A and B are shown apart, each in its own frame.
Chain A
């Protein structure tokens, strides 16, 4: 295997671009902080912090979805993804960084008692509100802080342990016995991560971080909806990096067959997202109870109408029509286009989930949102590239590698 380009070197251009993006983002952040974050208008302040919140939560969950993908395929004994597994690993290595940023922002909201974002932080309101009182066991600062710390901490640690284990497959060829025990340890660690993932993204964390902005409203679909949104974005991000590395002449073992399967994931989970979106919407629409429709009122009929339908077109109509054909999933150009489109679409989705609740009268999508987005994209590119460069691109002694090499769809 000596002929493979195992070592990724960060091209100078990429560094320049990601620093430029970070620069633009930093400028937007500072200008935003001055004009909105420190403005006397509390509504403006809430929008500023909300913008930071949805961006950082989005990128944390997207990067974490890459680790979920690794764990799910590990548990299913799926060997096909091994030829580009280091890409998913590198993306998931961003979880501690984005998670840290998320923690800082969320803790700031809690400690500054920003009840414009989390209404349940207002003690008087909770005392006089039977609904909030009933939820106080879940929606209270202490639980929020502990659960958030645990969530991000355990994601980082469990993910790190899986990436650590993966290093063993660089060292030396494995015989039958070491190979079996290696796979077994992988399975155990992946299972631990999945369990924690289910307890967090699969249920509590989106309720806590984002749904509780509408403190009175609730939907049990919300977390799954968020999961589907971030998982499909995570697959798109992996596909983007795989295509980039292929273009640069790396990942010789990855080919159209693997891209096809990534495309299938993007296609399938776009449909899955729509299914959850619809299940959440239709039940509320059908029952037509004011406590429930309050979430959709200004989104479907108010100022968010445009975004609401754009969201559906980008995240459902485009993937189902464009990615349906086999040839589309095997086409590098189309897959790049669809990956970018899906990432953008779900970013918009997160925008309307968070800001749609904070700023009900106006759609604030503008320079600040794209500026903060560029900050996070810059950090993501730089971080993933560094983490890719820190280890070989192919886990060459992994027992399942051959399955990936001969993979055929």
Chain B
């Protein structure tokens, strides 16, 4: 839990946002994240996010599901409690495939959802800082992390010359935390929203 200083620029148009992202990156500023009201195609590449490993995790969960089903049914039907079902062999692989398939899907689906929530730091009762409430409505919010060398005033000017409608500086906690929004982390109903 370490607080960092951010310069937050808000854009009201995708078409302005993209060139701005490009310029901010070439100028060498570090983009913390861009919050958008909807999924913007290609933005992840534009801000230089690496490919997610979520699908690799999904594959591993899936394989775990297959293995669980196969070993579970295999042990039950051949060792633990063999039953004669319609004269079929005890090791009746075709009949197990639907269950193996279902468990594969179940494991990978549940596993991926939980992993996704963990990666995005989402969970019940957990708090996260919102840089701008209108990011969920109609604003594209670009958050730039300040380092020791960042000249905040320069950066603000740079953002506004690239089309940012609203710029402010926030010192915020980026991770998730349990508890409540403290004085600095005001609940966003109480925030004054600039029009």
Contact = CB atoms under 8 A, between A and B. Distances in A.
Contact of A282 (B55, B86, B95): B95
Contacts of B51: 326
A288 B87 CA distance: 10
B94 A288 contact: no
Contact of B59 (A281, A282, A324): A324
A288 B51 CA distance: 48
Contacts of B171: none
A220 interface: no
Contacts of A4: none
Contacts of A278: 94, 97
Interface residues of A, number: 9
Contacts of B79: none
By secondary structure, the A interface counts as helix
A285 interface: yes
Given A288-B86, A324-B59, A281 B41 contact: no
Given A408-B41, A408-B42, A286 B59 contact: no
A286 B94 contact: yes
B26 to A, nearest CB: 21
A285 B41 CA distance: 47
Nearest to B98: A282
Nearest to A275: B101
A286 B96 CA distance: 11
Contacts of A286: 86, 94-95
Interface string A80-103: 000000000000000000000000
Contact of B94 (A281, A324, A326, A408): A281
Nearest to A325: B55
A282 B42 contact: no
A326 B94 CA distance: 30
- 7 interchain residue pairs of minimum CB distance: A282-B94, A285-B94, A408-B42, A408-B41, A278-B97, A286-B95, A281-B94
Given A282-B97, A286-B86, A288-B88, 16 more contacts: A278-B94, A278-B97, A281-B94, A282-B94, A282-B95, A282-B98, A285-B94, A286-B94, A286-B95, A288-B86, A288-B87, A324-B59, A326-B51, A326-B55, A408-B41, A408-B42
Interface of A: 278, 281-282, 285-286, 288, 324, 326, 408
